[in-house]
Structure 1
């Protein structure tokens, strides 16, 4: 993929702000006619810069008010252990974010559930049954101060 130019950045900014923007609105906003603009969007999609489109859902309004942040330490950090952990986490819908970390812990994940009992079931039925997990440390979010999928493109 070639580097991003100013037009690409304008396209990305517009789509990040409104994933439902029409092709005509997008082309007007970035200063291209619809065909070249659509071609640029397709190139950004094909290259993986634009990974997909999604709606932002209010987790409380769909009955999932609890966000738990779990720090996970593995017994070993060998590649096969990291891969096994990543494959398991990918199958768990409660885990909405998971990062391989530097520092004292190996992973930080955000788990979204309807109540504390659901979180306890997740821990007991899934996370603690995974081979190689040495420890789990959890913090619960009291409130969400900021959430954004908009990247600060310069």
Structure 2
């Protein structure tokens, strides 16, 4: 079922995307609404899954994960269990912070964080390349991040529940 995001929902979500630790009173003030209404809206957005969680966004470099690797993975075949098994395997690797299933020449794009090139090499040989069905891995090292945000470009309108 679809639901509508109105202007107040968008204001609340925008404020939470900027700082999820804001007190309800401050959100209400900045959104020009009452505390009760804002609290109810946030609860509805949590209940419907629009807000999936509230987290601290860490600087990966400051916690010792200074090397970001983008890997394209091509599978040897697309059998019934090969792709789901790959997905299950990469979910177990804490180094993999994103996994995208792609259409086109490669099957998956992985965003991987490690402390050094040597650590990635070890991860590559001992874990990633050993997943059954992996045919080819093409990896690139990110030199810098021009854009790095978790904020979504919100607008008033329909959202999927």
Q: TM-score range by the shorter chain?
A: over 0.9
Relative contact order, CA 8 A, sep 6+: which one is greater? 2
Mapped to 2, the partners of 1:56 and 1:18 lie a distance apart of 10
Partner residue in 1 for 2:128: 127
SS of 2:100 mapped into structure 1: strand
Q: Which residue number in structure 2 is paired with residue 2 of structure 1?
A: 3
Shift of 1:140: 0.3
Find the counterpart in structure 2 of residue 95 from structure 1. 96
Q: Secondary structure at the match of 2:42?
A: helix
More strand by share: 2
Q: How large is the RMSD of aligned CA atoms in angstroms?
A: 1.2
Shift of 1:35: 1.4
Using the alignment, how far apart are the partners of 1:42 and 1:78 within structure 2? 42
**Per-residue CA distance 1:69-110 (angstroms, 9 max, x = gap):** 000011223453221111111111000111111111111011
Point out the more displaced range, 78-87 or 38-47. Answer: 78-87
Instruction: State the 4+ residue runs in structure 1 displaced beyond 6 angstroms.
Output: none
Structure 1: segments with no counterpart, 5+ residues: none
1:28 aligns with 2:29: yes
The 5-angstrom pairing of residues 1-154 of structure 1 reads 1-154=2-155
**Aligned-partner Cα distance in 2 for 1:84–1:148:** 30
The number of equivalent residue pairs is 154
State the distance in 2 between where 1:71 and 1:147 align: 20
Q: Distance in 2 between matches of 1:45 and 1:10?
A: 15
Structure-1-length-normalised TM-score: 0.95
Give the alignment's TM-score, normalised by structure 2. Answer: 0.91
1:3 is paired with a residue whose SS is strand
List gaps (5 residues or longer) in structure 2: 156-161
Structure 2 distance, partners of 1:73, 1:148, is: 28
